[in-house]
Amino acid sequence: MIYNSLKLIIVLLIFDWLATGCASVPKHDYSLYRSHMPRSILVLPPLNNSTDVNAPYIFLSTITRPLANRGYYVFPVGIIDDYMKDNGLPSAYEMHNVPLNKLCEVFAADAVLYVAIEDWGQKYIILSSSTVVNFHAKLVDLKSGELLWSGQQHAIESSGGQGLIGMAISATVEQIADTLTDRTYALSRRANHAMVFDKRNGLLPGYYELRRQTEMQSP
């Protein structure tokens, strides 16, 4: 927080849904989703096509909250990663190849979220920097194998200076600050929230959110 107030820069946040505009995106077809409405979601460690080795873990530590806030039971992501590794699946690639019936048997989850990261990290261009998280996700019904939903995010946060002095200060401050702060964590959090809660193409409200709405109506 101190770091934010130190900076003499403008921050531009460009989320997909802002850039493309909600109206132009075709609405997702929710019929299969509704007919296999999941209560619980198993999030597997993502495949990583970026150069940042931490990307899958930063993603994993920011996905539980939006999914649970939307009303789903989310299996504990830290335990799942350890459990799979302890049981002979050393990488996300092997984990993604586990047959659905096996996942169903071990976890008894209703649906599994497969995620692939395409781009991730902080990039420096002369006196400014940009932070990128780019991934896509598929929600698959564990019993039928049907694709229930898919989503993607390509979020970019750019920092550039205002005028030469401002630029020089901002570049210095950022280089110091960036060794202490991983901006992809905050950006990933926002991107996951935006994906899950997207008004047209997000996830449908799950059991625990619907239960809360019922409780609010009948106190």
Nearest distance, CB of residue 152 and other proteins, angstroms: 17
CB of 164 to other proteins, least distance (A): 18
Q: Is 140 in the site for other proteins (CB under 8 A)?
A: no
Which residues make Cβ contacts (< 8 Å) with residue 167, sequence separation at least 6?
A: 127, 128, 160, 161
Residue of 34, 76, 123, 172 that binds other proteins (CB under 8 A): 76
Q: Is 79 in the site for other proteins (CB under 8 A)?
A: yes
Q: Where does this chain touch other proteins (CB under 8 A) — which range of 21-29, 121-129, 130-138, 186-194? A: 186-194
CA–CA gap between residue 170 and residue 156 (Å, rounded): 18
| # chain residues binding other proteins, by CB under 8 A | 48
User: Alpha helix locations (H) across the chain?
Assistant: 2-6, 16-20, 31-35, 55-60, 64-69, 77-86, 92-96, 100-107, 163-180, 183-197, 207-217
Q: How far is the CB of 107 from other proteins (least distance, A)?
A: 5
Contacting other proteins within 105-134 (CB under 8 A): 106-110
Residue 85 within binding range of other proteins, rule CB under 8 A: no
Contacts of 23 (CB under 8 A, 6+ apart): none
Q: Do residues 73 and 64 make contact, with C-beta atoms less than 8 angstroms apart?
A: no
* Among 37, 68, 98, 177, interactor with other proteins by CB under 8 A: 68
Find, among 100, 65, 106, 54, the residue nearest to 84 by Cα.
106
Rounded-to-5 percentages of helix, strand, coil across the chain = 45, 25, 30
Toward other proteins, which CB reaches closer, 9 or 117?
9
Does 82 interact with other proteins (rule: CB under 8 A)? yes
Q: Which residue ranges make up the site for other proteins (CB under 8 A)?
A: 4-5, 7, 9-11, 13, 39-40, 54, 57-58, 60-62, 64-65, 68-69, 71-79, 81-83, 106-110, 182, 185, 189-190, 193-194, 197, 199, 208-209, 212, 216
